[in-house]
Structure 1
Amino acid sequence: MAKSVAKKASNLFVWIILGLLFVALAGFGIGSFSGGGSRIGSVGDIEITAEDYARALDQEIRARIAQTRQPVTLSDLQAEGIDQAVLQSLVAQAALANEAARMGLSVGDEAVAREITRIEAFQGINGSFDREAYEQVLRQNGLTPAQFEEDMREDTARSLLQVAVLGGLQPDQAIAEALVAYQGETRDFSILTLTEADLPTGLPAPEEADLVAHYEANPGRFTRPEARRITYAWVTPAMLMDDMEIDEGALRDLYEARADLYRQPERRLLERLVFIDEAAAEAAFAAIAAGETDFDTLVAERGLSLEDVDLGEVARGDLSAEAAEAIFSDTESEIIGPVQSVLGPALFRVNAVLDASEVPFEEAEEELRAELAAEAARRVIDDLRDPVDDLLAEGATLEELAADTEMRLGAIELTPASEDGIAGYDAFREAARLAEEGDFPELLELSDGGLFALRLDEVVPPTLPPLDDVREAVAESWRAGVLREQLAARGETLVGQLATGATLESLGSVSAEAEVRRQDFIPDAPPTLVAQVFRLSQPGDVVLVPGADRALIARLDAINPAARDDPTTQILTQIIGQSVAQSMAQDIFEGYGQAMQAEVGIRLDQSMINAVHTQFP
């Protein structure tokens, strides 16, 4: 079973067990292959046609496009081995169909019709089967009703075979229970943390010989990554904004257009509880006034939640005239009513009073000016695009662009860690990655509406700088290594003291962790801590867990079995039981399928497979 868990999703019979036996409707734009007579192979007496293979590939491509929202080609599928997975799926289907035919499994017209009428794509507006829609969808996919119905007949027969093989499979409950007991177990443990402050003598200062030895032993740590020296010319709206002249009238027009943002009327945070009639509302109000109940209780008695009665921020104009007058003229009461609302007699609860506010034009002016300046700068950049394109086409250099246009010249030694300035733009980093020495600069767009063009001047290979250039980094790395070693040594000394009778609490400040699961993570602790604790077998056992800047001594205090009556454990039992059953089914069905294929043989025509591939762009 463990073998199956690690298999890739493209595994031959994972496709089958997941229900991918049915031929999907796809194949838009795929040409036919001699009317479907050409075949790419066969399993036993069942042929796999070139048209089937082309349709399956096209379906996979379209599914990828829908998922990624990016163009996908056959080459992309081949790079990931997906074309082989598609072919294996067709082989699996053919093997099942051959076995079903050999066993005499078949289904009648009534069963085929029943399956077809259940397909949503063939249903009309009223939800019933629509013959016209059925034929239209098939035409769009290059199929005739006879072809599709025969495919459905074979698919249904294959599914009967699958049920026959796996229908009686019952997973061993003991396996699921054992896995739940393992996964649901928790542990309590105590931790003594050792840091640099706990070292008796502290850390020594490195000698020159120490630095030289560390530098020579670890060149990879100090080697600078490959860098691409790039010259670029660019312009962004932010560069031009300060030079944009903004008309005062345009600022005031924008301010008035944003009046709802800058001028807020007086508002209330309200909740409203509506009653069937005035008498019921008055009785409720009287009960609240007498202290016999409260607003929350009335809401709950009606089977409502506070979210159901919450109105949020409400201005005077949002209410009926009567309710607005009652609520906005009363600045003291929490409960107001009964008043007539648009839904009937109601009590209102006022949770907060929000005074009217106004941001004057003078305060909003800077924000408005920046917005209009950015828009104006983007228009200038749009007007710049064609002239710059023309200059580049005429052979202008980036230096000439910067001299003759609003674009500015820059240079960068780009590495994967670069993120400042123009390196912060994804479009620039991607263009820089693809650039080759000698390429002509191309005008490209930045995400904020800016433009840039670049030139790759040199690719600097990974370089180990001299020790003096990285002395500080070498010293820090040496210090980190020595700290880790000394903390581990100190921890081993203390573990030895525990073995001779000392208690963890007598060695320093101890923290406690309770009911920790195997998958839990303890903040600020080495990532292996929990796994190390779960390797301990008896309460009282200890383990030393070294870390980068601290070492931990953990003592196991208790082993807590999974609580079988806990709802979480019950859910986990169901999930693991299903997983065990699926894994067992996968193993059994894989073995069955391999036996079928070995018995009847598989024949594939690589030249025809290649011919199908040529039909794809």
Structure 2
Amino acid sequence: MIGRLLSEVARPKVHEKARSQAMLTFFRNFFKTKIGLAIALAFLALIGFAFASMDVSNTGTFGGVAGGDSVAVVGDAKIGTAELNQAVNDALAQARQENPEATMQTLLAEGGLDRVLDDLITRYALMDWGESNGLRAGTNLVNSEIRQIPAARGPSGEFDTDAYNAFLRTNSLTDSQIRQQIRTSLYFQQSIFPAIYGAQIPESIARTYARSFKERRRGAIATIPASLFAPDGDPTDAQLSEFYTENRTRFVRPERRVIRYATFDSAALGDSVEPTDAEVAAFYRENAGDFAAREARSFTQLIVPTREGAEAIASRVRAGESFAQAAASAGLRTTELDDQERSNILSAASAGVADAYFSAAQGEVTTPARSSLGWHIARVRAVDTQPAQSLAQARAGIEETLRETKRQRGIAELAVSIEDRLADGASLTSIVEELDLELQTSPAITAAGRVYGTSNEAPAILGSVLDYAFQIDEGDSEIGALPDQQTFLIYEVADIAPSAVAPLAQIRDEVIAEWRRVRGDQAAEAAANRILKRVEGGQDLAAAVAAEEAAIRPPQPVNYSREELARLGSTRVPAPIALLFGMAEGSVKKLEGTGDQGWFVVDLEDITLEDLEENDPLIAQARTQVGQSWGNEYAEQMLAAMRAELGVERNAEAIAAVRRQLLGESN
């Protein structure tokens, strides 16, 4: 629960202009791990605004849903049906970030409604308990946290009202929503964080957990593949219809959309980017200094505290000694100045130094001149003199500069103009015709970026806008910049086929294949049960497997220590091996495989423990890892105590009505 409290927050709408979304994505992924949770709690005050999806007003009703407009009461606070409905839709949006083809049916089938409601109840309990026990999150504190939101800062790095308002608009949030959710995170920090911070375990427990890494387990694993038991023939029409009816959620088609689109770049501006004679002349006048004659010099420079010292060094250099040697003999070091104009020396030193440096010939040592830093002398290493450029001589470069400036400004203004016109109701077709663009239509594509019903990818040019294209309504038109930032895409959703269960007649072969797979899996489970029963009756696993009529491969012996598994990494440990390390010695268990793997029967024969050294590093590792787990358990228990103290009542009828509404069923 504590992990979901922080991680299951809905993602705000994705748009190509919303670069601040990356921060929200980072925090959500970070909170999915318990270790990440323990570290991230210290930064709760900065990420409170990520709870924004759960701040839907609970004062509205659900338009006649049976059972009233409250799905639960926490203390004196009510959680409305509208709030639960919105929260589940937000949870679906978040799920689609990881699996673009996730559907409401699959989310609810996996217990999503109950999880979301549990988290809403926990949030309400946290707020109510905090306020009842004197915790505070005042306006000034909330304001200070808002100022820490990176997307709310302007070019100077300070809080900027316009940037903050743009952040709210981009993420479809209100100021009150942000403030309420920051208060929620502050209450969490004040109540839960002190209870779990620095959780420690006794040395004896740390040693016990550490020694478990020295544990070695030996046994055998039998694999019973489902494909071995899959029926060869087809089901009868009655069997197929019954199977289809009972397993409708297996055959949900993902939502697919047809998108019409066109692209444009600076070519759409035509001759408007070409500079006129008047513009070229004005640019030449306004930047006259860039075209005037200039002289740039490079120097080897030395600054000496006294005039006498500077004159002595200059005399030695003029007599043939190198500048570096003369400086070193006086305990000083030269510096190199490259491509300096008179204005550079004037601003860095003084007018006298500038006069001396620019009056000497190339190769000469300058006359000592004073600045606030001391007495300057230098050798003129190089002189670069460039004559003034006439308008005719500078024209080509000016035209190129003006052309690029007008192109960038023109394409940006055109994009903004199109965006405004689309917002005002202009059609995509009218804009395409006006700009003489080629209008293209995509095939039906899914949110995963594939052409529906095939393995083909959606048109690559739609990749950068696909997420947002699956959030807008049918007929809506939008504009977006492509990754090169030079080309723009205008598009509209021409047709939406919602996610729904496919008719049996259209997917008969697919349903038959699934029927075979499921029946094979059921038969494999039955075989696993028979094998399990034989082993429990005294047979060894190899003999129990051999007793089956199907040609099941002999069991595979296994012999691992926990240290060996730790080196593999948790994501690489096969599920049967993981089960082996959760069983009692001498026991046997079955395990369902993933996909078409079928079933496993795991037999644990014996467990041995190796010795643990007094200062084994595993002890410190166990102390840290188990301490973090204990901290999470403390948080779970404290939140449960808050709910128990306040009292929670659920309205089963209203919850069922929300479920029907989410599935599009009649009430």
- Give the alignment's TM-score, normalised by structure 1: 0.44
- Give the alignment's TM-score, normalised by structure 2: 0.41
